């Protein structure tokens, strides 16, 4: 048995073990099930502007995003069907709109699911079709909600919940986003398998254990292309005790890419303290993250971490960096004046984890090669955001930030300060 299939076999055995106490109920019904339907959705208009993006290596950019995603859901007994079209257009993107900007008219989700009670504590579910998927805190597999076009997946999902424990099994392919109408599809380039177990040993205390198997037939790192296969083994600890909340995650990756072995890892933490009795109800938050980089270009071993399908806005609302070859410390404060208003202030400093690797954006594109630079410090970010909940499902948000260059940026090219601003209006119905 190959190493990559072993976790999948173990997860299948866990499903059988968890399901064993309860018999499978009969599917026959005494009469026809009543069908219930609902229509919900969202319309969003967002504008983003950047001065000196990539610290001056790219032209100034300012563009408008429009996204409408209605969702129709029908349920009859244990069976449910969801259809969610998407209309996503972009105007003014420098260099042309990409997969995160535009998809025309297409399907964000279209799936059927079946949920069955096995006993009074156990439920079994299966879902097939196209769906948005979020695992845990979406550091590795997320919906990519922040950009204009979310990331759907085509395939099969199975879950088993017993009490406070839940096991999710996935076998899906990433949907490739096309620029026109009805041209999104699964070309079976990027495959995702996962066994994700969530447990709650105490109230508001959660432990997640998971394996994620990822394959990309056309991956690229730096100037090298080839097939990539990675196994990610992770542990996430999250919860809340009084005013204290935490969300810590350890990830280890093993595999191969273009004839090289893969040895990568990441540690991500978020810890916060709330003061609800203090004016403005401040929440103090500290995020600290490390994602490994490649340590040598000649050792036939790739050390760059791959976050695969992370959530949008990974390190903040407008930051250009993604979680690869990165060390960052990010203190912040969230203020809640009431009446649906929230203000967030973020400060962050970024360093390279390895001097022999460059820096990357959220999609994995290399922004700066390491060259001969020895400096680790990439730069510093300051950002402020405002969100307001309005009547009738409306909300407004705005953010502004500046990313100043550190010694590594200064040693490798243009080093101007990046200025960033974004505004959006959302209607949820």
Which sign, positive or negative, has the C-alpha torsion 358, 362, 365, 367? negative
pTM of the model: 0.89
The pair of structure tokens assigned to 252 is 């280890």
- pLDDT, residue 296, reads 87
More confident residue, 29 or 286: 286
How wide is the angle at C-alpha 314 spanned by C-alphas 422 and 312, nearest 5°?
65
In three-state secondary structure terms, 417 is coil
- Tens of pLDDT, residues 111-132: 999 999 999 999 999 999 999 9
Measured CA to CA, the distance from residue 53 to residue 51 in angstroms comes to: 6
Residue 381's pLDDT band, with cuts at 50, 70 and 90, is very high
Token pair, residue 89, equals 């257009």
Residue 389: both structure tokens together: 């909940």
Q: Taking phi first (over 0 means left), then psi (-120 to 50 degrees means alpha), and beta for anything else, what does residue 138 get? A: left
Cβ atoms 230, 255 nearer than 8 A = yes
CA distances from 181 to 43, 46, 102, 174, 236 (A): 18, 21, 10, 18, 39
Task: State the DSSP code for 374.
Answer: -
- pLDDT category, 8, cuts 50, 70, 90? low
Rounded (10°) CA dihedral 93, 99, 103, 108: -140
Q: Where are the domains of the chain?
A: 6-16+36-428
3-state per-residue secondary structure call for 127-196: EEEEEECCCCCCCCECCCCCCCCCCEEEEEEEEEEECCEEEEEEEEEECECCCCCCCCECCCCEEEEEEE
Confidence (pLDDT) at 186: 79
Condensed to tens digits (0 to 9), the pLDDT of residues 319-335 reads 899 999 999 999 999 99
Using CA atoms, how far apart are residues 312 and 132, in angstroms rounded to an integer? 13
More reliable by pLDDT, 403 or 22:
403
In the Cβ-directed half-sphere of 189, how many Cα atoms lie within 13 Å?
11
Q: Which numeric CATH code is attached to 6-16+36-428?
A: 2.40.160.100
282/273 Cα distance (integer angstroms): 8
**How far is residue 361 from each of residues 365, 367, 368, measured CA to CA in Å?**
5, 6, 10
Taking the CA of residue 30 as centre, how many other CA atoms within 13 Å lie in the half-sphere pointing to its CB? 0
Rounded to whole angstroms, the Cα distance separating 373 from 356 reads 9
* Residue carrying the six token digits 């916060």: 272
Q: How far apart are CA 286 and CA 270, in angstroms?
A: 6
CB atoms within 10 A of CB 351: 19
Residues 6+ apart with CB under 8 A from 385: 317, 343, 344, 345, 346, 397, 398, 399
Out of 31-35, 131-135, 185-189, pick the least confident: 31-35
Q: Strand 260-274 and strand 301-302: pairing?
A: parallel
């Amino acid at each position: 048995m190959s190493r990559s299939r072993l976790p999948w076999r173990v997860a299948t055995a866990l499903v059988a073990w968890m399901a064993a106490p309860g018999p499978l109920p009969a599917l026959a019904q005494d009469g026809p099930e009543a069908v219930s339907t609902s229509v919900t959705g969202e319309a969003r208009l967002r504008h983003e502007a950047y001065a000196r993006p990539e610290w001056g290596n790219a032209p100034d950019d300012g563009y408008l995003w429009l996204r409408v995603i209605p969702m129709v859901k029908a349920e009859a007994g244990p069976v449910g069907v969801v259809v969610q079209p998407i209309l996503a257009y972009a105007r003014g993107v420098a260099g042309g709109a990409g997969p995160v900007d535009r998809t025309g008219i297409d399907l964000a989700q279209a799936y059927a699911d079946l949920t069955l009670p096995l006993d009074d504590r156990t439920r079994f579910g299966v879902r097939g079709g196209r769906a948005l998927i979020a695992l845990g805190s979406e550091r590795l597999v997320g919906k990519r909600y922040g950009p204009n076009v979310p990331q759907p997946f085509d395939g099969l999902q199975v879950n088993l919940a017993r009490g406070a424990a839940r096991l999710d099994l996935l076998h899906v392919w990433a949907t490739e986003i096309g620029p026109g109408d009805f041209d999104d599809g699964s070309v079976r380039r990027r495959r995702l398998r996962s066994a994700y177990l969530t447990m709650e040993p105490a109230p508001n205390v959660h432990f997640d254990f998971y394996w994620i198997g990822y394959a990309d037939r056309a991956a690229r790192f730096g100037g090298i292309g080839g097939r990539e296969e990675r196994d990610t083994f992770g542990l996430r600890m999250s919860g809340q005790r009084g005013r204290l909340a935490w969300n810590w995650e350890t990830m280890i990756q093993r595999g191969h890419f273009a004839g090289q072995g893969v040895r990568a890892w990441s540690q991500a933490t978020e810890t916060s303290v709330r003061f609800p009795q203090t004016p403005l109800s401040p929440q103090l938050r500290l995020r600290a993250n490390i994602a490994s980089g490649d340590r040598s270009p000649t050792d036939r071993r790739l050390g760059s971490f791959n976050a695969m399908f992370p959530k949008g806005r990974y390190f903040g609302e407008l930051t250009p960096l993604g979680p690869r070859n990165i060390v960052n410390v990010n203190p912040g404060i969230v203020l809640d004046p009431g009446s649906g208003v929230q203000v967030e202030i973020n400060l962050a400093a970024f360093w390279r984890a390895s001097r022999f690797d460059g820096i990357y954006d959220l999609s994995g594109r290399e922004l700066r090669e390491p060259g001969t630079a020895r400096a680790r410090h990439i730069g510093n970010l300051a950002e402020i955001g405002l969100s307001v909940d309005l009547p009738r499902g409306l909300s407004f948000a705005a953010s502004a930030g500046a990313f100043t260059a550190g010694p590594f940026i200064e040693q490798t090219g243009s080093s101007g300060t990046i200025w960033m601003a974004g505004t959006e209006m959302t209607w949820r119905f």
